[in-house]
Amino acid sequence: MKTLLLLVLVGVVVALVGGQGLPSLQGRSPSWAIAADPTVPLGQGALALSRPHPGLTGVHVLNSGRSAFAARMLLVETAQRSLDLQYYIWHDDISGQLLLDAVRRAVERGVRVRLLLDDNGIAGLDPVLAALQALPQVQVRLYNPFVQRRFKPLGYLSEPGRLNRRMHNKSFTADGAVSIVGGRNIGDAYFDAAEGVNFADLDLLALGAVVGEVATSFDAYWNSESAYPLPLLVKAVPQASAGQLIEARLAALGGQAAVDRYRAAVRASTLVHSLQQGTLALEWVPVELVVDDPQKTLAQGDGAVATHMLPRLQAAAGTISTRFDVVSPYFVPGDEGTQGFIALAAQGTTMRVLTNSLAATDVAAVHAGYARRRRDLLAAGLSLFELKPDARAPGPRALTLGSSSASLHAKTFAIDGERAFVGSFNFDPRSVKFNTEMGFLVKSPALAQSIHRAFDDALRNTAYVVRLNPAGDLEWVDHGVHPPQVWDSEPKAGLMRRAVARMLSWLPIEFLL
C-alpha cells in the first residue's frame, strides 16, 4: 500500500512539474561583447602590453585562492565599459556577496554587466539576482533553467534528459581586455576561505589574442537557446529597492573575520596596478580556447558528438610522445579512456595522474567510478597519486593549497614539457558527453614543466602513491611521514565511506559520472 501511494505521489509531482514548461524566448534580444577600449585603464594597459606580441596571449597563473579572488575583485572595481561573467556555481556566501556588491557598484559607474549562470549552482540567489537585474545596464540569464524554483530537484522527475546537461564553463572578461579562465567557480571554498574543506584550483589570467575568442564564446552561450532572461523565471524586484537589498545582504556579513581577510587580499594585490603600469609578469605564448558548442546542451544521439570539445581538445593538444601528466579531481576514464591510457603506456609514454583520494573527494560516486579502473591502469604502468585530505602546497606554480583540509578541483594536464591545458574539463563521462566545458590549451614549456615538476618534487609528500603489491592488491604509500606509511585500504576514509564507495562501484552508473 505504501509503495502504491508513493508511486501515485511521484506521478502527481511529475504531472505538475512537467506541465509547467519553459517560457518562450520570443522577444529576447541578442547582445554582443564590447571590444577593448584604449581610452579606459584596462583596455589601455592590455593593448599596450599586447602590441609587441601580435597573435600571442599573455598568461599569468592564478594559483592561490586569495590571489584569484583579488584578481576578480580588482578587475570588477577597475572596469569602465563591460563585465561578461559566466559560471557554473555562484555561492550565496561571503565571496559571492562581495563580488555581487562589487558588480552593483560597477553598474553605478555605468558598466554594462552580462551575468550568465548555470541554474543548478545558484541556490538561494534568486532574490539577489532579481535585485541585480533590476538595475540599469544589467542583464542576468540562467542557463538550462529549472521551471520549479523552490525545490529544483523535482525537475529531474519530469525532465531528466534536459536537466542532466549543465553549463560547467567558467569565464570572466572585463572591458573586453582581460579574461580569467580555469577551474574556479565563485564561492569561499574556491578562494581558500571556507570553514571546512577548501579546493586546490588553478586559473589563468589572459590578455591579448585569446580574449577575443573568450568573448566570442560568451556571446554564443549568451545568445543560445538555453540562456533564459531572469525575468522570465523569477519575480522582479522594484528598481528603487534593488541596490538596498544587495547592500543589506552584504552588511549582514559584517564582523566576520573572512570578510576582513578577503579585503586585505584585495588591498595587498598589485595585479591591476602592474597591468596598468606594464609590469605584470606575463608569458607571451600561443593559446587556443577549446570550448563546447552550446548546442551540446540540446543535442541528442550520435549527432551530439559534433558539438563536443573533446575532439578539438585532442587535435589542439597534438601527439603525446614522452610525458603526460594529468590533474583531474573527478577522474573516471571509463572503458574507452582506460584503453587509451593503456595504449599510450604501451608506446613508452610516461603517464601520471593526480586525483582525489576517497577521504578528500567531495563526490564519493565519482571516486567509485575511478576506483574500478585503478588495477588496470597500474598494471599498464601508469602512476596514480591521490591527494591527501590534509595536503599542503603541492607546487610553486601549478597548485597551491593554503588550507589544512583540502580537496582537488583543478583540471589541468601537461604534455611533453611543451604544452598545458587549464580549464573546466574533467576526464570523466560527464565532461565528455553531458556538460559543456572550456579551457585554454597553452603552448608554454614553462607552464608544462611546472606541472611536471609538481609531480616530480611535491606530490610524494602531499598525495598518496597508489601501487600494486606483489600479490596484486592495492596499496597506498604516504611518503610525507618518516618512515613512509603503507595502507592496505583507502587511507583516512571511514568504514562507512569505504562501504558506500564500494557499493556505488557495483552500480551501472559510470556513464553518468
Which of the residues are catalytic?
Answer: 168, 170, 175, 409, 411, 416
Taking the C-alpha atoms of residue 132 and residue 137, their distance in angstroms, rounded to an integer, is: 10
Report CA torsion sign: 296, 426, 97, 119.
positive
Taking the C-alpha atoms of residue 310 and residue 332, their distance in angstroms, rounded to an integer, is: 15
Distance of CA 431 to the CA centre of its chain: 11
User: 465 pairs with which residues across the strands?
Assistant: 385, 477
Tell the residue number behind the cell numbers 578587475, with chain if given: 75
Phi-psi region of 56 (alpha: psi -120 to 50; beta: other; left: phi over 0): beta
Distance of CA 9 to the CA centre of its chain: 37
489 three-state secondary structure: coil
Beta carbons of 234 and 129 less than 8 angstroms apart: yes
Tell the residue number behind the cell numbers 529576447, with chain if given: 28
Taking the C-alpha atoms of residue 121 and residue 4, their distance in angstroms, rounded to an integer, is: 34
DSSP code of residue 393: -
For residue 98, the one-letter residue type is: L
Nearest to residue 438, comparing CAs of 209, 204, 226? 204
Q: Side-chain half-sphere of 22: how many Cα atoms within 13 Å?
A: 19
Beta strands per DSSP E along 383-501: 383-387, 406-408, 411-415, 419-423, 438-442, 463-468, 474-478, 485-487
Report CA torsion sign: 120, 125, 130, 134.
negative
Sheet holding 323-327, edge to edge: 287-291, 438-442, 419-423, 411-415, 323-327, 350-356, 383-387, 463-468, 474-478, 485-487
Q: What are phi and psi of 387, to 5 degrees?
A: -60, 135
Element (H, E) at 326: strand 323-327
Q: Side-chain half-sphere of 191: how many Cα atoms within 13 Å?
A: 28
Instruction: State in Å, rounded, how far the first CA of the chain is from the last one.
Output: 34
